[in-house]
């Protein structure tokens, strides 16, 4: 009885979903019709009346919006003005789709797990299969969070039980107990104490240390995945600088809090905008904060190497992940602002491997600049470059030797496959016997014996 009720409710919801999708389809179809399309449709209709051929019918996905080409032929960003009512209708249909898929037992997270930015990303997906893949990814994230929370609760219960046993032992034992957790000469240092100490070191760096700037003005040139990677690298930059013995006074300039990169960074560092948190976040450009004659823009596209670190200069690093777009954007910006430019002396101290790119992550740049500022030794500072990008002579020799051995093995296999095993061993023994020294007396005796017989 219960199963039949559930199936009936599921059918009703499927019909509601189909009806809502159909309504959105017609709304989207009639909303995008303009005067030019009407004229084109009338002309096509007249032509079809003469030829008795109907034009092909085009279908439109209400959840996918294509970027129309601009005047120069390239795809221009297209942000249509979607009304709040239409958006609410789409979200209602999507919530109903998630609810039905969840009841059917598919790998879809619960509705309580979805956040606002999740729904914003779902609205941009072009098809149902893409939405189901994204739902599967969110389902895995939800399962991992639930497992982590469950392990945390079990660990807390075990810890509470262990503490109760320890209290009972202390009540029964009247003697002094020495060791960790008991009477000890060592002071326990908590994680909060370490965090306060590191934050105090950053506050001291704001007063006395040199400045380092991360230029966050390249969000419009990055894809969604590149923006998320850039946010993670910006978080690692703050962590690496915070854990160093002598950190920089790090500044995040040209920040727009509405971009995907900054929204991801806020999820990584929720307290980044608090007044008591030692992180410098500016919406202004770095040219308004520091004098231009002291600014040096670090870009890999220029031809000037940074030979020596200058403590009076303010070094700028472009916060961009350019896995897709490899244009010299930082070089163009530095030239436009009239700033000095430099690049790291990578080719002078490193030998790059074949097929490896010379691009470095933002946190690797910060670690290199921290070490070269502290030691002044570029070889030691460039040790943060991944070894996989460099040429390893020993590995190359070993690889060449292995290739030669593989070639020799292939030749032996071919010879063995042509000749039988017994014939091959007899041929080898005959060749070895021919290498022996020639003995005249034995040769003559063998010949006479053969003639006498």
In degrees and rounded to multiples of 5, residue 53 shows phi and psi of: -120, 125
**What pLDDT is recorded for position 38?**
43
pLDDT tens, residue by residue, 407-425: 766 665 555 555 554 555 6
Q: What is the mean pLDDT of residues 85-107?
A: 89
Average pLDDT over residues 421-450: 57
Asked if pLDDT for residue 145 goes beyond 70, the answer is yes
Q: What pLDDT score was predicted for residue 60? A: 46
- Asked if residue 311 and residue 218 are part of one domain, the reply reads yes
264 and 339 share a domain? yes
> CA 52 from chain center: how many Å?
55
Percent of the chain topping pLDDT 90: 40
DSSP character string of 52-70:
T-PPPPPP--TT--PPPB-
Instruction: State mean pLDDT over 382-398.
Output: 75
Do residue 278 and residue 356 come from a single domain?
yes
pLDDT, tens digit, for every residue of 233-282? 999 999 999 999 999 999 999 999 989 999 999 999 999 999 889 999 99
Domain-ending residue, one of 358, 389, 420: 389
Instruction: Band the pLDDT of 12: cuts 50, 70, 90.
Output: low
CA pair distance 402, 425, nearest whole angstrom: 26
Rounded mean pLDDT, 372-394: 83
Token pair of 84 as six digits? 């709040």
Q: How many CB atoms lie within 10 A of CB 87?
A: 13
Q: Do 225 and 295 fall within a single domain?
A: yes
Q: Is the torsion defined by CA of 121, 122, 123, 125 positive or negative?
A: positive
With 50 as the cut, is the pLDDT of residue 131 above it?
Answer: yes
The alpha-helical segments, DSSP class H, found in 32-69 are 35-51
H-state helical runs in 63-106: 84-103
Q: List 250's β-bridge partners, or say none.
A: 212
Is residue 368 one of the residues assigned to a domain?
yes
Whether pLDDT at 153 is above 90? yes
Least confident range from 29-38, 354-363, 392-401, 444-453: namely 29-38
| Total of domains in the chain | 2
In a domain, 58, yes or no: no
Q: CA end-to-end span of the chain, whole Å?
A: 107
Query: Is residue 253 in a domain?
Result: yes
Shared domain for 313 and 373, answered yes or no, is yes
Helix, strand or coil, per DSSP, at residue 311:
coil
pLDDT, average across residues 286-298: 92
Place of tokens 């040790």: 383
Whether 100 and 232 share a structural domain: no
Domain interval for residue 109:
85-142
**Whole-angstrom Cα distance, residue 314 to residue 251?**
10
Q: Which DSSP string corresponds to 146-183? A: HHHHHHHHHHHHHHHHHHHHHHHHHHH--S--BSTTSB
Q: Does any domain span residue 338?
A: yes
Measured over all CA atoms, what is the biggest interatomic distance in the chain, rounded to whole angstroms? 118
Element (H, E) at 281: strand 280-281
Q: Which residues of 96-105 are buried (b: 16+ CB within 10 A; e: fewer)?
A: bbbbbbbeee
Length of the chain, please? 453
| Separation between Cα atoms, residue 183 and residue 41, nearest integer Å | 89
Residues 205 and 106 in one domain: no
- CA–CA dist 179, 273 (Å, integer): 42
Residue ending a domain, among 346, 361, 389, is 389
pLDDT band (50, 70, 90) for residue 188: confident
Residues 118 and 201 in one domain: no
Percentage of the chain exceeding pLDDT 70: 68
**Region 332-361: what's the mean pLDDT?**
85
Per-residue pLDDT, 79: 44
Residue 265 in domain: yes
On whether residue 442 sits in a domain, the answer given is no
Please report whether residue 295 resides in a domain. yes
The answer to whether the Cα torsion of 73, 76, 81, 82 is positive or negative is positive
Residue 214, CA distances (Å) to 114, 229, 320, 327, 342 in order: 32, 15, 10, 19, 15
Residues 90 and 221 both lie in one domain:
no
What per-residue confidence (pLDDT) applies to 18?
57
Task: Among 13-17, 142-146, 416-420, 436-440, name the most confident range.
Answer: 142-146
Give me the sheet containing 211-215, strands edge to edge. Answer: 280-281, 249-253, 211-215, 314-318, 295-298, 340-342
Query: Judging by beta carbons within 10 Å of its beta carbon (0-12, 13-18, 19+), is residue 304 exposed, middle or buried?
Result: exposed
Q: How confident is the model at residue 142 (pLDDT cuts 50, 70, 90)?
A: very high
Is the pLDDT higher at 235 or at 432?
235
* Same-domain check for residues 120 and 247: no
Cβ-contact 413, 376 below 8 angstroms: no
Residue 397 confidence class, pLDDT cut points 50, 70, 90: low
- Quick check: 59 pLDDT over 50? no
Residues 123 and 228 in one domain: no
Residues 303-327 have a mean pLDDT of: 89
Q: What is the mean pLDDT of residues 188-192?
A: 86
Greater pLDDT, 62 or 117: 117
Q: Which of 64-73, 85-94, 114-123 has the lowest mean pLDDT?
A: 64-73
CATH number, domain at 279?
3.40.1280.30
Residue 395 located in a structural domain: no
Beta strands in 346-402 (DSSP E): none
My answer on whether 234 and 364 are in the same domain is yes
Q: Which of 370, 389, 408 is the last residue of a domain?
A: 389
* Residue 83 Ramachandran class (φ > 0 left, ψ -120 to 50 alpha, else beta): beta
The single residue listed with the structure tokens 């009885």 is 1
The reported pLDDT for the residue numbered 238 is 94
Helices (H), 124-276: 128-172, 191-208, 224-243, 260-268
Q: From the centroid of its chain, how far is CA 443?
A: 79
């Amino acid at each position: 009885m219960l199963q039949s009720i559930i199936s009936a409710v599921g059918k009703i919801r499927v019909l509601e979903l189909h009806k809502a999708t159909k309504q959105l389809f017609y709304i989207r179809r009639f909303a995008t019709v303009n005067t030019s399309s009407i004229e084109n449709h009338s002309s096509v209709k007249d032509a079809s009346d003469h030829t008795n051929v109907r034009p092909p019918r085009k279908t439109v996905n209400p959840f996918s919006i294509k970027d129309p080409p601009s005047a120069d032929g390239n795809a221009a960003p297209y942000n249509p003005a979607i009304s709040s009512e239409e958006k609410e209708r789409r979200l209602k249909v999507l919530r109903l789709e998630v609810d039905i898929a969840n009841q059917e037992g598919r790998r879809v997270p619960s509705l309580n797990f979805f956040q606002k930015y999740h729904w914003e990303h779902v609205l941009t997906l072009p098809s149902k299969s893409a939405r189901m893949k994204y739902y599967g990814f969110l389902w895995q994230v939800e399962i991992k969070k639930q497992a982590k929370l469950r392990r945390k609760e079990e660990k807390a219960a075990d810890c509470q039980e262990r503490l109760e046993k320890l209290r009972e032992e202390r009540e029964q034992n009247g003697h002094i107990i020495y060791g960790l957790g008991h009477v000890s000469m060592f002071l326990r240092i908590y994680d909060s104490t370490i965090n306060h100490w590191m934050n105090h070191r950053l506050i001291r760096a704001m007063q006395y240390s040199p400045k380092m700037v991360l230029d966050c003005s390249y969000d419009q040139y990055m894809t969604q995945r590149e923006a998320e990677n850039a946010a993670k690298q910006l978080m690692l930059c703050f962590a690496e600088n915070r854990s160093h013995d002598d950190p920089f006074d790090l500044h995040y300039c040209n920040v727009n809090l509405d971009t995907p990169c900054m929204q991801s960074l806020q999820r990584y560092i929720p307290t980044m905008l608090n007044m008591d948190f030692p992180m410098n976040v500016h919406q202004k450009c770095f040219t308004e904060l520091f004098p231009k004659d002291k600014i040096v823009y670090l870009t890999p596209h220029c031809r000037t190497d940074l030979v020596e670190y200058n403590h009076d200069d303010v070094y700028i690093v472009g916060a961009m992940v350019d896995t897709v777009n490899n244009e010299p954007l930082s070089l163009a910006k530095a030239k436009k602002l009239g700033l000095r430019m430099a690049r790291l002396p990578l080719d002078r101290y490193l030998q790059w491997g074949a097929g490896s790119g010379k691009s470095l992550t933002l946190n690797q740049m910060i670690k290199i600049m921290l070490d070269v500022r502290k030691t002044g030794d570029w070889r030691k500072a460039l040790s943060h470059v991944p070894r996989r990008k460099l040429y390893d002579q020993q590995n190359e020799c070993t690889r060449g030797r292995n290739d030669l051995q593989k070639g020799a093995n292939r030749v032996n296999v071919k010879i063995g496959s042509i000749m039988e095993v017994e014939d091959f061993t007899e041929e080898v023994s005959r060749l070895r016997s021919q290498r022996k020294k020639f003995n005249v007396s034995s040769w003559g005796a063998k010949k006479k014996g053969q003639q006498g017989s």
